[in-house]
Every structure is written in C-alpha cells, then in structure tokens.
Structure 1
Amino acid sequence: MNISSLQNFLSGPTRKRHVVDNADKENQPGLTDCRIPSKHPRIALGSAFYDANIYNSIPYSPPEEFVVKTVDISSPSDANRIHLTPAHERRNSRSETRYKNGSFRQVLKWIRSLGQYGDGNNAFREPNSLAWLESGKIAVVDTNAHCIKVFHSETGQFEYSFGRGRTLGCQNLLYPYRIAVVPGGSDQLVVIQRHPRPQIHVFSAQGEFIRRFGQHLEKPRALTVDQSHRIIVIESQVQKLHIFSLDGKVLSLFHLNAQLQFPTSICSNNYEIFISDNHLHTVKVFSYSGQLIREIKESNYITYPTNIKLNSKGQLITIDNHQGLNITVYDEYDQKKRLGAYTARICHSQILDVAIEPNQNVLHLASKDYRVYTYQLPL
C-alpha cells in the first residue's frame, strides 16, 4: 500500500464495534430479537408476587384409586368442599416398602381427606387439633376461626360447629389450641385455649358450654383425658404436669424440668402417663405420682416425635414428621417390641395433631395444608 492510499484509509469514516457491558447479566433488559432468549429477574417464592390463590388449590395429587366426585353447589354443606371417593378397591398383594432415616417402613396411602383453606363449614384456617368421638364423629379445632367443627368420621360430612359467638356462655373462646374427648359414651369435649389467656373449657358433645378453669396455666402444650375422667395437661417451656378432675379441681402438679426438654404430646392408659419429647427423641413413661418409670427410645424409629396415641389394646403409636410422616407401633407390654413401622406415600407439609379410632386403628391427621387425612394401620 502506497502513502496516498494509507492517508485515504485513515481519513475515512471510523468503524466502531458495539460494546455490550456484561457486568450485570441477571438484570439485563430482554432483547427484541425473539430468537435470542431473554433473561428476566428471578422472583422469590415468598415474594410479593406469590400467588394468593395457591391456598385454594389441591396441594397434592390424589392416589390413583381416587377420583374427584362432582359437587352439588346447591347444597350448603357441599358449597366449598372437595370430595375424594374411592373409585374401586385395589389391593396390592405385595406391600411397598421404603428405606427412610436408617429403617425400612411400609408405605401407606391415605384413604380419605377433607377440608381446604377458607372460612366455610368444610374449610379451615388453622386445624391445630382434632379428636375422635365415640359417636362416630370427628371434632376439629380451627384455631384462627375461634371455633370447633364437627364432621362425620366416615363420610366427612359437616354437621355443626361451636365456639366464639356461636355458643351461649362461651363468647370469649379465642384461639382454641388442643382438644380431647372424655371417654365413657357422653363425648364431652375438653378444649385448651392458649391465647390470649390460657385456660380449659369443657363442652357437651353438642357444643353446649359447661365450665372453664385452669387460668393459672402458662404454656399448655397437650392434654388427654383418662378412663377415670382425669384431665392431664403437659406444659412446654416450663415442663409442668397438671392433673385435674373433670369439674376443674387440681389433683396433682409436678415439675419435670429434669426429665423433659420439649414435650409435644401426652396419653394415658389410666395408670401410666406417656409423654413424647421432640428434642430428646424419646417417649417417657411416668406414674400418677410424677415418678419416671421407663423410657422408650429407639434410634431410626423414634426420631422427632410429635404425637403419641394408645389403641384399645394398649399398644403405643408414635408419629413424627422427620422427612415425611413416620408411624411406629409398639406392643402393650412395656413397649419392648416393635410391631410395625410405616410411612406415608406423600410428604405431608406438617402434622399438627392426630386422633385415633382405637378399636379400628384408624388415624385422622390434621395437616398444615388445611386438610384432615385418614390412614388405616394394617395391624
């Protein structure tokens, strides 16, 4: 190239390459060329863009042997109800097992469910507790709705409710927390109110207010009623064990700080008191005089117990939510032998409380997803 040609080249229009700053690729605006995928800012699951209607959707798919039944919207009891009805019986000759948390467990499918999020008769705002009545009903404590709702245990049909503003003499029932049934046929209901002032309420099976007591309670966590109609309450944080008569008289009070760290559930066979401890990974058995009798502790089977129940044979059923629903059953002879270990096919969000039909070994579980699930134990 001669000198004149070089001068013409340098004096011509300058070509500049377009420079794109890639310092912040996450927040770059989308390109207009549809062939190039644009990248948009991420939306966090718990952000303001979270879909508020997610609570009105079915959180889990039903098992294959279930179909959704058409709802008659003209029926007031079915207006906001989701029915799940068995399409036909399918019994698998080979039971499915799953290895979880260092143990093999038989997989169970729930057989019924009821409820959803909402304020209707067949919906819950926070189903914190439930109890099975000997008349064949299920009473569910809806804490944030300040009421107790009663359903038929077989069909899930709503029957009646009572609580704040619905029961004469009990307009101040606020945030009911736990419930238990008085055995013996009358189906009286004992309800713990935790906030704003802890106390115990007693109702008839129809929801008629009878009495209240226990205003000296501090942190009531769980309760049970034994065959002698003694009301037994365990408190968390302060680790106190209270025993009341049905008319509200204080029979005993024990301080169990040396034996417990975080009690979660309680049950009784009328001469022994069983208390589960979530932090100690155990179930401890006490006498009615407050003495520690024995401890039920088994690695990989009792991990973080949240609920315990006794069936009609005196067999102990423990429930925990460590990496899903886990159920373990122990024999009635000092719980020295494990009779079965089970897990759920679906991973429940959180089990809040459990009720048992003791003669049938049927469990009803209140879940954090605003539903009550029913399981049949193959004992």
Structure 2
Amino acid sequence: MNSFGMSRKRPLGFDKENVWPSILGIEVNDLGVTVKQPRLAFRSAAIDNDLFNSSSCSPSDHFLIKPVDTWSLLDLDRVLLTPTQKSKKNVLTPSETRYKNGSFRQVLKWDRSLGQYGDGNNAFREPNSVAWLECGKLAVVDTNAHCIKVFDSETGQFEYSFGRGRTLGCQNLIYPYRIAVVPGGDDQLVVIQRHPRPQIHVFSSKGELIRRFGQHLEKPRALTVDQSHRILVIESQLQKLHMFSLDGKILFVFNLNEQLQFPTSICSNNYEIFISDNHLHTIKVFSYNGQLIREIKETNYITYPTNIKLNSKGQLITIDNHQGLNITIYDEYQQKKRLGAYTARICHSQILDVAIQPKQNILHLASKDYRVYTYQLPL
C-alpha cells in the first residue's frame, strides 16, 4: 500500500537493491480518487506533452495510425535517424558536469523515449528487460503483460509481440523477466521466466518457441549469451552460476556464495565472466572454470551497480542507480583505466535493465516509469 492508498500486487517478492524512489504524477478524478497520470507512448526530448494528449493511452492491436518517425526530435513528417548536427541548446559542453557521490560526472540528456503505462502495443505494464537485435530491432520484456514486444530501434515503431495468448506454442510464457540475444545466431532470443516456475525459453526472432529448459533454477536474476552460444545465468540469493549450451544441456554449475552477496547482472567476453554485486559495490571477474580472477572496485564510481554490458571494443559499461542514473566506462585491458563517468540530467526512478548497440555505443534503458530511454554515449 503506497502513500496514496493504492496497492499493486506482484507475483513474487522481488530482490531488493539500492534504488532512487520514483516520483510519478498523480491526479484526482471526478469521484475524488487519486489515479496515476498516464505516460506518453512515444516522446522525444524536445516535444511537449500536449502533442499526444488526444491519443488513446491503450489502443487496440488493430488500431492503425499513419507511420511516422516516432523517435524524431523535431520533424514528425519525415524519417530522421541520428541527427548529424544538434542545436546549441542540446549540445553538452565539458563544463556541464555534476558532482555526485564524491565524483564529477558529465551530464547526458536522453535522445528519445518510448512507452507509457498500459496494455496497448506502445505501452508497458512492467518493462523488466530490453535487448538490441542485430537486425536493428529492440525487444522489450513486459513482465506483467506476459509478452515480449518488438520495436524498430531507429523509428520506435511497434512491429509485433509474442507470448502467452499471442503466439501458438508459447502460451505458457508467464511473467518473463530477462532477455538476451544469441550473437550471430539469427537473433534467437533467450528469455528467463521467474514465476511461477523458473525456466529458460529460446525463441526465434519472430517469437516461435524453439525449446525450454532449466526447470531446476530457483532464483534466476540475470543472463547473457557469449560468442560461443553458451548461456550464462546467475542466481540471486543462492549465488549460483549456471552454464548451458544453446540446446539446453547443463555444462557447469558453480557455487559462488563465498565471492558474492547480491549479484545483479552478468556479461562475458567469451573467456571471462563479469558479475556485478550490488551489496559489495564491485564487479567481479571469473574464469570459465568458476575461479575469481580479479575485482573491479572504485570508490565513488562503482557504488550500487545494477547492470553491466560490454561494447564491441570490449569496454565495460557499468550502470548504478545510486541517487539517479550513473554510467562509468572502463577500458578493455583488464578494466584498469576509467574512460568516462556520466550521469543523467533527469533522475530516473529505477533502472530495470539496459541494452547496448555495440558499434554505435547507444544505450537503451528500461525504467520503472514504464518507459525505455535512449542515450548516446560519447565514446
């Protein structure tokens, strides 16, 4: 029960981590009942909220609109991808820094956003995970809607969805939680389901169920798929690292309870495994034999890590949510050199998951306010 007398049922007790509280708009209807202000389906950083007030918050699946560039900052009548020139108003200068938690960080402004609360194609009930497909699509896991929604990553246009009640053969996909893309594997999608029975689903990029396995999992928290198509799953509370082949065979299970307290995210460069620990304020690096190799720990820069990703150069991108979004990037050579530290101009309520477009260093961020934000990292 929150301070406004509203409650929201959840399927299970989610793991707690250090997050910044959400500040959401509310209003009072004609009956005197407080209700949540709906979010915009598509919105750029420069477009006023009133532009979309006449649109339905949750259009039906057969609702048709004129295709437009929903990501565009200025002109909605033409397709505008990444602008080659930005106005002086949007250009960040080296002086635009902010002192946070004992460190100076360059301030970044999100380029575009997608989503609102609701059940329509362009809305989410809980966007817990996001993944960028090599074909240029963006897949978003909508946990409480029991489906995965796929958008064009350049225009933000909804394309299709799959999950319970939407695709023949996978009606049993209930409360999907995390998603990862098989690299160089025709964009096959690996999805973790946490409730009511934890397991792993493998889908084609179009949502056709290929197989499911991993019913022995108990508390799967995060996953990644390496270049050799090995599926790595880290469990919270149990601190176990599971390694599967793409066809579902168990390769290894490592107990890391002596090295970890609360793992939150995992990634791999195909010979080292990186795991963030929210409570130990660190990133730990393991071999594929389960041995701890080294630790990446920097006071005031890695505080409460929630997500980690590797870009195409092997540089480590760390995300933490201590008093807002904080991004720190380390070099590819054992992460000994910090390449940049950034923070968001706005205070995101809670970072649920991130995806990286490796070559462009574009960061897609799923937030607790039912939206997916896009940031261009200055690397």
- TM-score scaled by structure 1? 0.83
> What is the percentage of aligned positions where both structures have the same residue?
77
Residues in 2 aligned to 1:147 and 1:326: alpha-carbon distance in whole angstroms: 29
Q: Per-residue deviation at 1:362?
A: 0.4
Residues in 2 aligned to 1:77 and 1:139: alpha-carbon distance in whole angstroms: 21
Partner of 2:152: 152
What is the 5 A alignment of 1:217-366? 217-366=217-366
Q: Per-residue deviation at 1:55?
A: 3.7
Partner of 2:166: 166
Q: Per-residue deviation at 1:57?
A: 4.2
The change in CA–CA distance for 1:57 and 1:189 in structure 2 (over 3 A counts) is closer
Partner of 1:123: 123
Residues in 1 aligned to 2:108 and 2:297: alpha-carbon distance in whole angstroms: 24
Equivalent AA in structure 1 for residue 273 of structure 2: I
Residues 177-215 of structure 1, C-alpha deviations (whole Å, 9 max, x = no match): 000000005000000000000000000000000000000
What is the 5 A alignment of 1:127-142? 127-142=127-142
The change in CA–CA distance for 1:159 and 1:282 in structure 2 (over 3 A counts) is same
Residues in 2 aligned to 1:133 and 1:84: alpha-carbon distance in whole angstroms: 18
Does structure 1 residue 46 correspond to structure 2 residue 4? yes
Residues in 2 aligned to 1:262 and 1:215: alpha-carbon distance in whole angstroms: 22
Partner of 1:90: 87
CA contact (8 A) 1:77 1:122 kept: no
The change in CA–CA distance for 1:225 and 1:197 in structure 2 (over 3 A counts) is same
Q: Which has the higher contact order (CA 8 A, sep 6+)?
A: 2
Equivalent AA in structure 2 for residue 312 of structure 1: S
Partner of 2:207: 207
Q: Per-residue deviation at 1:54?
A: 2.2
Residues in 1 aligned to 2:142 and 2:275: alpha-carbon distance in whole angstroms: 24
Residues in 2 aligned to 1:154 and 1:185: alpha-carbon distance in whole angstroms: 21
Q: Per-residue deviation at 1:46?
A: 2.0
Partner of 2:82: none
Residues in 2 aligned to 1:116 and 1:57: alpha-carbon distance in whole angstroms: 4
Residues in 2 aligned to 1:252 and 1:294: alpha-carbon distance in whole angstroms: 21
CA contact (8 A) 2:221 2:236 kept: yes
Does structure 1 residue 375 correspond to structure 2 residue 357? no
What is the 5 A alignment of 1:53-68? 53-57=35-39, 63=45, 65-67=46-48
Residues in 1 aligned to 2:191 and 2:350: alpha-carbon distance in whole angstroms: 22
Residues 139-191 of structure 1, C-alpha deviations (whole Å, 9 max, x = no match): 00000000000000011100000000112221111000000000005000000
Q: Secondary structure at the match of 1:144?
A: helix
Which blocks of at least 5 consecutive residues in structure 1 are unaligned? 1-43
Q: Per-residue deviation at 1:84?
A: 5.7
Which blocks of at least 5 consecutive residues in structure 2 are unaligned? 7-25, 29-33, 76-85
Residues in 2 aligned to 1:191 and 1:214: alpha-carbon distance in whole angstroms: 11
Residues in 1 aligned to 2:141 and 2:92: alpha-carbon distance in whole angstroms: 38
RMSD of aligned residue pairs (Cα, Å): 2.4
Of the three residues 37, 57, 63, the one matched with 1:76 is 63
The change in CA–CA distance for 1:77 and 1:276 in structure 2 (over 3 A counts) is farther
The change in CA–CA distance for 1:93 and 1:208 in structure 2 (over 3 A counts) is closer
The structure whose Rg is larger is: 1
Residues in 2 aligned to 1:57 and 1:76: alpha-carbon distance in whole angstroms: 19
What is the 5 A alignment of 1:13-28? none
The change in CA–CA distance for 1:46 and 1:67 in structure 2 (over 3 A counts) is closer
Runs of 4+ in 1 over 6 A off after TM superposition: 71-75
Residues 291-349 of structure 1, C-alpha deviations (whole Å, 9 max, x = no match): 00000000000000000000000000000110000000000000000000000000000
Q: Per-residue deviation at 1:78?
A: 5.0
CA contact (8 A) 1:67 1:84 kept: no
Equivalent AA in structure 2 for residue 320 of structure 1: D
CA contact (8 A) 2:71 2:154 kept: no
Q: Secondary structure at the match of 1:233?
A: strand
Residues in 2 aligned to 1:143 and 1:315: alpha-carbon distance in whole angstroms: 30
Q: Per-residue deviation at 1:58?
A: 5.4
CA contact (8 A) 1:82 1:114 kept: no
Q: Secondary structure at the match of 1:86?
A: coil
Residues 230-280 of structure 1, C-alpha deviations (whole Å, 9 max, x = no match): 000000001000000000000011000000000000000000000000000
The change in CA–CA distance for 1:371 and 1:82 in structure 2 (over 3 A counts) is farther
Equivalent AA in structure 1 for residue 117 of structure 2: Y
Residues in 1 aligned to 2:47 and 2:109: alpha-carbon distance in whole angstroms: 11
Task: Kindly tell me the number of residue pairs found equivalent between the two proteins.
Answer: 333
Residues in 2 aligned to 1:193 and 1:335: alpha-carbon distance in whole angstroms: 32
CA contact (8 A) 1:82 1:115 kept: no
Q: Secondary structure at the match of 2:72?
A: strand
